[in-house]
Amino acid sequence: MARTAATLPGGPRLSDHLSLGVLAHIFPRSAVRASLAACGRTSRRRRDLPAEVMVYFVLALGLFRSVSTREVLRCLAEGLRWLGTGPLRLAGRAALSQARKRLGVEPLQELRRRCVRARATAATPGAAYRGLLLRAWDGTTLDVPDEAVNRDAFGQPGASRGEAAFPQVRLTALVEVGTRVPLAWAQGPYRESEAAQAQSLHDQLAPGQLLLADRGYLEKDHWHQAAATGAQLLWRARRNTALPVDRVLADGSYRSCYGDGPVRVVEYALAEAPDETYRLVTTLQDPETAPAAELAALYHERWEIETAYDELKTHMLGPRPNLRSKTPDLVRQEVEGLLLAYHAVRAFLAEAADTDNLDPDDLSFVHAVRVVRRRLPNPGPRRRSRIARVRDLGREILGERVVSRRGRRRPRGVKRKMSNDPVRRSGPLDRRRHAWIPLILAPAC
């Protein structure tokens, strides 16, 4: 039986002091209130868990995956304890679940439209190529609790011996290369393709951008729709994609035709794996301003989004990668909150790196997550302004740096031999910045 939500003691309420939290720097209370009003979800009466509180609660769920929902609320409520209001009585799990259902996913989606924005400029290390801001998209899956309603809503992949253990939600995101800040995303059932989800992200593309994508996205209609946005494209092609040679250019690339439009193709191999051929299709037609060797090296930066998914699934969700919500509506809400929380951490990292003219890759993501978690319940000295506390947060993030990783490379491999990839042996990474040279394979005239 659902329990009655516990009441907070007299004095300031949690919703009155949410500006103390570091999440409010990226998602200010004014934007949260406007998002709730736009979706008609503003609390009509004074509740212990008002809608405004629940927005930040859902964001915090992504930061504190390893603890219970009541412990997450306790972390938020510590802001009141810090103000000296005394011990708090917290709402029970049933009350939290009901409050999340009242909130829904729409206010979080509206908050994304209002607050999520690009953080990099052309001067940000690794974020641009010859004046074009780099973007990349790719997909992944997230395990959800094995409930009948989740299996029906999302489906689950097959396995060599029956079915997979958990239903899965498919996620496709567009990230900013260089900072790994997610700019937009789409989620849906497992059966939905990544390419179909990516088509819903076309409104985020614009002139002055260069979009990197893997071979799974190269379909004629999809290619032409993305190109029509004015963004430049650099996508890998499948082995069986028909790209007839029209004219070989001086840098070894060649002009071809894909669908109804002209394209340029760069074909190359890597010294570590000379038997595997890569073919890149691009809208950058001029070999003088975009040489083939540079484009081949640039495609490597597409792995920034793979690293972003590793940060999201391994370091934020932790050892229990499946989500916690047991109904489809709350799963969608939790995924939205998780991506917004990841955006907040990455945005903090980008701001901290910019203040010290550093490459965002040189700052530790794991350390940043720990700092944000630590500062959420205890924002800092009361006498300091919110802006000063945010600056303190940036300085703390700058205190933990990692060895420069941009441009590093390692051949694809696995540690435990359960696939066709070669076994990975221990040894130093090649950290030279773009020291490797692709072998451009010019076709015969």
Q: Where are the domains of the chain?
A: 14-115, 128-307
φ, ψ of residue 80 to 5 degrees: the values are -70, -40
For residue 365, the model assigns a pLDDT of 84
For residue 11, the model assigns a pLDDT of 40
Question: 325 CB contacts (<8 Å, ≥6 apart)?
Answer: 144, 145, 331, 333, 334
Q: What is the pTM of this model?
A: 0.83
**206 neighbors 218 (Cβ within 8 angstroms):** no
Q: How many helices (H) and strands (E) does the chain have?
A: 14, 13
Question: 97 CB contacts (<8 Å, ≥6 apart)?
Answer: 330
d(CA 280, CA 243): 10
**247 neighbors 269 (Cβ within 8 angstroms):** no
- Indicate the burial class of 252 (C-beta count within 10 angstroms; 0-12, 13-18, 19 or more): buried
φ, ψ of residue 348 to 5 degrees: the values are -60, -45
Q: What is the mean pLDDT, run by run of 10 residues, along the chain of 445 residues?
A: 38 40 80 95 74 90 85 72 48 89 97 96 94 97 94 89 86 96 97 95 97 96 96 96 95 94 94 85 97 95 94 86 90 97 91 85 81 63 52 56 59 58 58 56 70
φ, ψ of residue 187 to 5 degrees: the values are -130, 155
Q: Which amino acid is at 201?
A: L
d(CA 188, CA 335): 10
d(CA 183, CA 343): 8
For residue 383, the model assigns a pLDDT of 47
Fold of 128-307: Transposase Inhibitor Protein From Tn5; Chain A, domain 1 (3.90.350)
- Residue (of 124, 130, 120, 184) closest to 406 by Cα position: 124
Q: Give 255-260 contacts, CB < 8 A, sequence gap 24+.
A: 255/285, 256/281, 258/220, 258/223, 259/220, 259/221, 259/223, 259/224, 260/224
Interior CA angle at 271 toward 265 and 276, to 5°? Answer: 55
Neighbours of 401 (CB within 10 A): 15
> Which DSSP category does 89 fall into?
P
Neighbours of 51 (CB within 10 A): 23
